[in-house]
Amino acid sequence: MEKSLPTTEQAPQAPPKHHVRRTVSTVLLVALTLYLLAPLLGDSASRDVPHHATKKASCVQPPPLFPATTDEKLSRMYDFVGTEAFKNATIIRHSGAVKIDTSSFDDMGPVGEDKRWDTRYAFHDYLAETFPRLHKGLKLEKVNTFGLLYTWKGSDESLKPLVLMSHQDVVPVPASTVDAWTHPPFSGHYDGRFIWGRGSSDCKNQLVAEMETVELLLEADYKPKRTVVLSFGFDEEISGREGAGSLATFLIDRYGKDGVAAIVDEGAGFSEQWGQVFALPGVAEKGYTDVHITVRYPGGHSSIPTDHTSIGILSELISKIEAVQYRTYLADESPMLGLMQCGADHAPDFPKTLKKLLGKRSSSAKTCKAKPDLLALEAAKMGRPVKYLMQTSQAVDVIEGGVKVNALPERTTVTVNHRINIGDAPEMVWHHLTALAKPIAEKYNLTLHAFDGTKEAPLSISLSPSDTTLKVAPVTPTELDVISPYSILAGTTRAVYGEEIVVAPGMMTGNTDTRYYWPITKHIFRFGPGYDPTTDAGLGNIHTVDEKVSVANHIGMVKWFTLFVQNMDEAALE
C-alpha cells in the first residue's frame, strides 16, 4: 500500500477503569451542548467546561470515548491486552503470519491457473490454527478462492454492519536485496522491540490485530448488536481486482448501496507536525491514471539516419510534460484544509503566515482557479510529501524503444503515472497531455490519436489511458457536531492514546482496497491505529529493505480495535 504523510509511532497509555467509562451518545452530546451554549453562559460556563469544549474553533476535539458496558469480563479483557502474557503471545502470532510469503507479482495470471496464488492456502491454514475461536464463532466465506470474508452476526439486524479490512498479500522481495536486510525478510524475527519482515507493517499487523480483537471479544463472551465483518483481500499490492474487487461486489450484493455503517482499512497513521502529534485517518484518496504514449516513426539503417528518431521525438514530448507541473491548490472539500485548521487551533508551532492565510481563506468565498492559491503554495514549502497532497503529480516511470544499435527505432513508448488531486479529474490530465502532444505531432507530420481508442498506428503519436484509471475518491464526512463514525473514531483514538492526541482529517496520495467499496458506505477510513512514540520507524520501511513494526505499535492497534468495535456497537448513528 502507498501511504501519505510520514508517521511516528507511540506506546498506548492505560485508560481509566470501566467504572468511569461513558456511553457514546452521552459523552458526545454533552460535550457538544456545552460547546454550543458556552457563549451564552459566559464565564461561569467556561470555568466548568473542559477547554476543548469551550474553545471556539473549527477543530473541536471529542473527549476520550470508552464503552459504557461495565461487564467485568470485558474490563479484564482490555487490561489483559497490556500484559506481558498477551504481548508474548501476539508476537508469536504476528511473527508466524510474516513467515508465510504471500507475495503478489505484477504479471500474475488468473486465479486457479497461476500457482503463485497458492501461497494463500498456507496462510489460510495458519489463520485457522492460530485463531480457533474466531473460526468457530464466525461464518467464513471464501470469495474468488482466496478472499476471506468473516461475518460475526449481530443481534439487531436493523443496524448497518461495521466492516474491518486488511489484505493478505505483500510486495515481493527482490533477490538482489535479500543480503541488505538486517534480518531475513520472511523470518518474522523479534529483536525485543520490533518484528521484522515483509508484511510486518504493510499490513499483516492490521490483519492480525483485527483477528486478535475478535478472538479476545469472543473469549469475553461479547455479543455484538451490530454485525461485524472482516474482509481480507489477497492482491492489494497489484490493484486488488481479484481480491477486494470480488469481495466488494459480494458485500454490495448482500447489504446494498450505503448498506454498511463504516469501513476501516489500512492507511495513514500518526504524524508529529508543528509541535503537535496528530492522528490522521485517511478520509480521501487521490485519483489515478497511467497514460501510455507511443510514437511510431520510420526505421532504417543507423548509418543513414533520419534527423529525428521515435526516441528523440518522444523525448521532446517528455521534456514538455516534465516542464509543466499541475496547479498546486486546495479544493474546498480537501481534508488538508481540515488538517491545517486543526494545526492552527492546537499546534504550538503552527506557522503564523499559514494561520493568516487560512483565516483569509475561511472568511472568503470559494477560491477562484484562475488565481494562485496562496495558502496551498505556502503550505507546499513544507516539502514534497505535503505539496503532492495539494497537486496532481506526474512521473515518467517506464520507457521502451529500440532493439538494436544499428537499427532506427520504429516504435517508442512511455508510461506516465498520475495521482490526481481533489478537485481534478482524469479527463483534465488527458486534455493537458493532448494539448502538449498536438504541436509536436504537427511539427513531425504525425497523426495524433489522443484517447480515441487507437493505441497505435503508423506515423503517429498515440495517447491512451490504462485500465487502472480511478477518479478521486468521495470524501468521508468528518463532522463532529453529530454522533458519526468519524466522531467515534476520534473519541476512540483519544481514549487509547490520551487527550494530547489531536485527530484531524488525513489524505492518501496512494490507493487502498477501499477503491472498490465506495458504493457501500460514505464512511471510509484508511487508518492504521497503532502508535509508538519511542521509535523513529515511521511507516516501518514498507515496500523496501528492513520492513518492521514495533510491538508497542501492534498492541496499541489491538487496544484500539477492541474499543472501536464496542463504541460503534453502542452508537446511535443517524
Strand order in the sheet with 460-465: 393-401, 411-420, 287-296, 460-465, 447-450
Q: From CA 545, how far away is CA 539, in angstroms rounded?
A: 12
Torsion angle, CA of 260/264/268/274, rounded to 10 degrees?
80
In sequence order, the β-bridge partners of residue 232 are: 148, 166
CB-CB contact of 545 with 474 (8 Å)? no
**Catalytic site includes residue 532:** no
3-state secondary structure of 153: coil
Q: Give the DSSP letter of residue 249.
A: H
How many C-beta neighbours within 10 Å does residue 424 have? 22
C-alpha cell read off for 345: 487551533
Strand partners, 449: 462
Active-site residue identified among 9, 101, 202, 236: 236
Local structure of 105: helix, strand or coil: coil
Question: Quick check: is 169 catalytic?
Answer: yes
d(CA 235, CA 61) in angstroms, rounded, equals 37
Output the nine-digit C-alpha cell for 209.
Answer: 490485530
At 27, the amino acid letter reads V
Decide: 232 and 203 in contact? Cβ < 8 Å: no
CA angle 310, 315, 321 (to 5 degrees): 130
- In DSSP terms, which residues pair with 9 in a beta bridge? 535
Residues 281 and 268 sit within 8 Å (Cβ to Cβ): yes
Pairing outcome for strands 460-465 and 287-296 = antiparallel
Contact 450, 441 (CB under 8 A): no
Q: How many CB atoms lie within 10 A of CB 514?
A: 28
Can you tell me which residue has the cell 481534508? Answer: 335
> Which among 9, 169, 235, 532 is annotated as catalytic?
169
- Angle of CA points 441, 444, 448, to nearest 5°: 25
Q: Determine phi and psi for 33, rounding to 5 degrees.
A: -60, -45
Q: For residue 231, give the nearest of 267, 199, 263 by alpha carbon.
A: 263
Element (H, E) at 565: helix 551-570
- In this structure, which amino acid lies at residue 450? A
| Cell digits of residue 455 | 493505441
Amino acid at 478: T
d(CA 217, CA 397): 46
Which residues does the annotation mark as catalytic? 169, 236
